[in-house]
Amino acid sequence: MADEQGFIVYVNKRAAAIIGTPSSELLGQDIRTALPLQESDGRSWWACTDPWKGLATRTGHREKLLIIPGRDEVLVTARYVRPGRSMPVTQVIVGLRDAEARRRAEANNSALISTIAHELRSPLTSVKGFSSTLLRRWDRFTDDQKRLMLQTIEADADRVTRLITELLDISRIDSGRLQVRKQPVDVTAAINRHIERFVASGYDRVRFDLSNGHDVALPEVWADPDRLDQILANLMENAVRHGAGTVSMSVVPIGREGDEAVAVTISDEGEGISPEQYPMIFTRFWHGRTRGGTGLGLYVVRGLVEAHGGTISVGRAAAGGAEFRFTLPAGTPEHVV
């Protein structure tokens, strides 16, 4: 544990053993020199993710495999303690996990690679199959048949592109390098735009219901408009695709003065999600019975919401379906990236 200037104020026995220095020597040292963590490409981790100078809404870091030069790899998590939202860091708590770490990270990596390969292969198999067939037997098909095959090729190519975009986002989320360009956004207007998009692509307008849209005064929210669109698109698409009935949305102000936020809920009237699956749905590649998805959507959504300093949760809607609720802190951030 380091204080507001980065000096070590507490070390437990295991941490001292992993670092390889007695705790009596570590106390009072600058954590950045006592624990010179490096990324796998040799860059200083502290320089990349300065907890004291970085984004003031950051609350810490997910587990990451890093290197202590001259020693082993370690899995590192970090938590930044602030007395209030957007206040300077008063404590940085770093968690270290050793030895096992490498093996587990490698096992994770190879599982991830095989899932990605699998997800990429099925659309590409169809692209390859249909284009070969068309090239070899062009004259044997009617125009309608050819059009159908080309449409399938196009849809599968889109799927591969989307998958790759999501994978790139995931790698940014996991490494804490997701860029969030905040500016004032109108959340209600953004939801309305998405409703229009769904209607334009053939959905019935009555399937969407945005309440509290006009009458409640909302605090000003700063967010990255493109990322907010990504969050809304994913959650609304899930509600339409995995849920059923009317998709109800609301935007309401929450929190007290000085710590205000808006909460956005998106619920549907489908079968919902059983509570034992709540922890799973936000993980990578987890998906239910409904076909077509890769299971990356909610993982990306959670990463995006958290990168804004918000939280996301899932529950049961009054109408029976799934209800997703995320928050976005209001107010001007000190650090506009």
| Partner whose binding site includes residue 119, from ligand ATP, Mg ion, none (CB under 5 to 8 Å by kind) | none
x/- string (CB under 6 A) for ligand ATP, residues 217-256? Answer: -----------------x---xx--xx-------------
- DSSP per residue, 169-211: HHHHHHTT------EEE-HHHHHHHHHHHHHHTT--GGGEEEE
13 CB-contact burial (10 Å; exposed 0-12 / middle 13-18 / buried 19+): exposed
Residue 315's DSSP bridge partners are 323
> Which two three-digit tokens encode residue 42?
């040799």
- Minimum distance, C-beta of residue 38 to ligand ATP, in the bound complex (Å): 33
Beta strands in the chain (DSSP E): 60-67, 73-81, 91-97, 183-185, 208-211, 221-223, 247-254, 261-267, 312-316, 322-329
Of the two residues 188 and 230, which places its CB atom closer to Mg ion in the complex? 230
Query: Hey, what amino acid is at 288?
Result: G
Q: Which two tokens mark 77?
A: 């998590």
Cα separation of 128 and 323, whole Å?
39
Give the span between the Cα atoms of 61 and 216, in whole angstroms.
35
Comparing every residue's Cβ against Mg ion, the nearest one is: 297
Binding status of residue 55 toward ligand ATP by CB under 6 A: no
Distance in Å, CB of 210 to ligand ATP, minimum = 16
- Segment interacting with Mg ion (CB under 5 A) among 88-96, 116-124, 140-148, 238-246: 238-246
Q: How far is the CB of 263 from Mg ion (least distance, A)?
A: 21
Burial class (CB in 10 A: 0-12, 13-18, 19+), 50: middle
Number of residues near Mg ion (by CB under 5 A): 2
Q: Which residue, 58 or 242, has its beta carbon nearer to ligand ATP?
A: 242
Tokens describing residue 166? 């999501």
- Write down the least CB distance from residue 298 to ligand ATP, Å: 3
322 binds, options ligand ATP, Mg ion, none, Cβ within 5 to 8 A by partner type: ligand ATP
Six-digit token string for 113 = 């690679």
156/268 with CB nearer ligand ATP: 268
Residues 286-325 binding ligand ATP (CB under 6 A) are 286-288, 290, 293-299, 321-322
Asked if 82 contacts 99 with a C-beta cutoff of 8 angstroms, the reply is: no
- In the chain, the amino acid numbered 228 is L
Closer by beta carbon to Mg ion, 49 or else 234: 234
Nearer to ligand ATP, 6 or 270 (CB): 270
Nearer CB in complex with ligand ATP: 7/278? 278
| Nearest CB to Mg ion, comparing residues 238 and 267 | 238
Residue 139 one-letter amino acid:
D
Draw the binding track, 292-331, toward Mg ion (x: CB under 5 A; -: no contact): -----x----------------------------------
List Cβ neighbours of 195 (8 Å cut-off, separation of 6 or more): 205, 208, 210
> How many residues bind to ligand ATP according to rule CB under 6 A?
23
Which residues fall within 8 angstroms of residue 115, CB to CB, at 6 or more apart? 284, 285
- Give the other-Cβ count within 10 Å of 17's Cβ: 14
Please identify, using beta-carbon distances, which residue of 58 and 194 lies nearer to Mg ion.
194
Residue 296 contact partner, candidates Mg ion, ligand ATP, none, CB within 5 to 8 A by sort of partner: ligand ATP
Which of residues 238 and 265 has its CB atom nearest to Mg ion in the complex? 238
Q: By the criterion CB under 5 A, which residues form the site for Mg ion?
A: 238, 297
Q: By the criterion CB under 6 A, which residues form the site for ligand ATP?
A: 234, 238-239, 242-243, 268, 270, 272-273, 281, 286-288, 290, 293-299, 321-322
